Amino acid sequence: MIVDCHTHMSFPGCNIRPEDHFAAAEQIDACIVLAAPEEDKNQSNKLLGEYAAKHPKKLFAFASVNPVTDDISVKYWSKMKDHAKLDGAVLYCCRQGFHPAHSRAMQFYETAAELNLPLFFHNAPPFTPDSVLDYAKPYLLDEVARTFGNLKIIIGSMGMPFIHETLCMLAKHENVFGDLTIRPKKIWEVYNIVLSAHEADVLGKLFFGSSLPLQSAQSCIETLLGFNKLLGDTNLPAVPREKIREIIERDTLSVLGIDH
């Protein structure tokens, strides 16, 4: 089963129609669709939930939330999960300017933990000029993971550019995972990310992602499976192909506790 843990219908500078998103996701078995950090989140989350509800075996929606300003009550999020068909939440801390361990955010994580809602932290490029890079650092999630040990946390795009902080978090916390969304045109970057994860012995904590529609799942899969060939006769260390395939074919939804 191939699950793409990182797709969008709408993101600043990039918007596609639901039918275009669904067509682009045809090559994978299921995908998580992340709501955009828009001002009118209620409408955005509602539309995303309606789209996912039309394809319940294929699409799994994560609502956008800014815990500093939004409703973080158990009552509200229980309704979002059961009636709006939203399976998790995505947070844009650096883009929206709040610390991942803000007191209101910690209250929201308590709600998420109670409802078994997995969280996706989308704090990686592209950054806007007013994004707060201090809030993008993966190690800031350490307090969250220590406080809520059962909360499933995904660090988007491997926490770029703070890759090694992400690797440390994956090794330290059982329920912290990395989204291996890579850029197919940057082979050397891909090689170093995957090799570093292999050497840190955390390949089993990685989920496959594509950042669709910015790039296709197929191009990401081909890049991951093929980059060892580029090493040729060099003495550079390789990553076992079967380990890479395990990432691509991981049942991410089951690991996150999402019914499918």
Instruction: Find out whether 11 and 38 touch, Cβ atoms under 8 Å.
Output: no
Residue 14 has pLDDT above 90, yes or no: no
User: Taking CA 63 as the corner, what is the angle to CA 58 and CA 222, rounded to the nearest 5 degrees?
Assistant: 45
Q: Tell me how far apart the alpha carbons of residues 220 and 171 are, in angstroms, rounded to a whole number.
A: 24
**What's the pLDDT band for 37 if we cut at 50, 70, 90?**
confident
Residues 6+ apart with CB under 8 A from 199: none
Tokens of 9: 């219908």
pLDDT of residue 13: 61
| 18 or 178, greater pLDDT | 178
- State residue 33 phi and psi, 5-degree precision: -110, 120
pLDDT of residue 228: 80
CATH 3.20.20.140 is right for the domain spanning 3-256: yes
Query: Does this model's pTM top 0.85?
Result: yes
Residue type for position 23: A
Instruction: Find out whether 58 and 87 touch, Cβ atoms under 8 Å.
Output: no
Strand order of the sheet with strand 59-64?
3-8, 30-34, 59-64, 86-91, 119-121, 153-155, 176-181, 206-209
Q: Give pLDDT tens digits for 49-101.
A: 999 999 999 999 999 999 999 999 999 999 998 888 899 999 999 999 999 99
Q: Tell me how far apart the alpha carbons of residues 40 and 212 are, in angstroms, rounded to a whole number.
A: 22
Residue 136 has pLDDT above 70, yes or no: yes
Q: Give pLDDT tens digits for 178-235.
A: 999 999 999 889 999 999 999 999 999 999 999 998 899 999 999 999 888 877 778 8
Residue whose C-alpha is closest to residue 67's, from 103, 39, 35, 95: 103
